[in-house]
Amino acid sequence: MRYISTRGQAEPLGFSAAVAAGLAPDGGLFVPATLPDLSGRLDAWRGLGYEELAFEFLRLFADDIPGDELRAIVRGAYATFDHPQRAPLVKLAPHLWVLELFHGPTLAFKDFALQLLGRLYERQVRLSGKPITVLGATSGDTGSAAIHGLLGKPGVRIFILYPRGRVAPLQERQMACTGAANVFPIAIPGSFDDAQKIVKDLFGDRAFVAQVGLSAINSINLARILAQSVYYLWARLQLDAAGAGEVEFVVPTGNFGNVLSGWLLTRMGVPGLKFCVATNRNDILHRFFTTGRYEAGMVEPSLAPSMDIQVASNFERYLYFLEGQDRARVRTAMAGIAAGRGYAVAKPVLGPVRSVRLDDGGIKQVIARVHREHGYVADPHTACGFAAPAAGVPQVILSTASPAKFPETVTETIGVAATHPTLDALQSLPIVRHDIDGSVAAIRDFVLKHAR
């Protein structure tokens, strides 16, 4: 399978090369040149365990990796999870489920992709004999999941930028208390969007990319999107077995990668899927799906910090399909967004997508309601999903992080002490981070100094 840039000015690549590149040289994002039709495979996939389903799905895209090797990579990635089903479906009411995605090593949904991506990078280093430098930005969970996917791996240095003072304390500790020599957490002033812009600017410097062997871990990397598609497929097949018809997945999201991963299945012939985008007060995606206008505002800190984003990188992949896969139109649209003119369409929804938003007061109210009505403890991000009104079809709320990562909010709201042994162990460890000013030049110099 070949992968092309959403902007159409870069050479097509195979899977491994596209994963290694991360961002296309023309600034676009890689997408499959053609998507496979899964409709004829679903019956054969029913009843598979999570790892085997992931292998069967990913082998359609990673066709340059030998099957036995890919199967071992997948099994290794999910052996790190502490639940036998990896992504258990928890039924709360006759037409309401929670898809728990926090049973990986950092207790967040990002582990599904980044445990896999870490092993793909390990393979890349082994085959090429060349070290790589992994660079990413995080609003909280991506950084820790990426770090734990690459801890101690030979030939890999990882640099994670995050907004100083704007991630949850335990999210920072997961990044800055590893003690690993190949990990460099970098705190910068500003917001996640500022950190993400630095990352994109550095990937645009082709000489720098070549000099340090730069690779991406953010959801701009197509491997992350494809890995996340699997848990939607897993849930859909389980609900089929339970006799459910059409289902709406309610997805807390800031960077749009998580919901895009599920939505792509509708382009691959998987029936009965609807989606609701759930945002916090930083509601650029909610505004788009309700008004048709995509326009960034100011980022406001919230109780759901992983969604404190106003520039959703994966929106470009959605835009690619919205514009009929016309890459010239994507280039024009992205230039307008970059120039501050935004983007507007008369009919924003391509496929069954709606949206909902929740401010901080609403997050606490929903956490309390869900606990009162269902006895279930939701973290602040998952609470945004529970704000979606009934859709007339069964709903699956994606629980994207363990409540133990946000104990202050949970305890203050419902009086429950949300804890986890791996997080408790971090409390006594020293924080080792690098405070750097938020300029491209400063970050470039730091990476050059420590990349080898």
Buried b (16+ CB within 10 A) or exposed e, 186-215: bbbebbbbbbbbbbbbbbeeeebbeebbbb
Please, what sign has the CA dihedral across residues 387, 389, 390, 395?
Answer: negative
Show the tokens assigned to 313: 């990188």
Is 79 buried (19+), middle (13-18) or exposed (0-12) by CB count in 10 A? exposed
* Whole-number Å distance between alpha carbons of 287 and 293: 7
3-state secondary structure of 153: coil
Candidate list 110, 200, 274, 364, residue with the active-site label: 110
* Whole-number Å distance between alpha carbons of 318 and 264: 9
Show the tokens assigned to 145: 């999941």
Which residues on neighbouring strands pair with residue 276, listed in sequence order? Answer: 250, 354
* Whole-number Å distance between alpha carbons of 313 and 315: 5
Would residue 110 show up in a list of annotated catalytic residues for this protein?
yes
Cβ atoms of 388 and 250 closer than 8 Å:
yes
Write the single-letter amino acid at 447. V
Torsions phi, psi for 105 (to 5 deg): -65, -25
Residues 6+ apart with CB under 8 A from 251: 258, 259, 262, 275, 276, 277, 278, 385, 398
Q: Which helix (H) or strand (E) holds 279?
A: strand 273-279
Show the tokens assigned to 161: 């930028």
Cβ atoms of 247 and 394 closer than 8 Å:
yes
Residue positions annotated with a catalytic role: 110
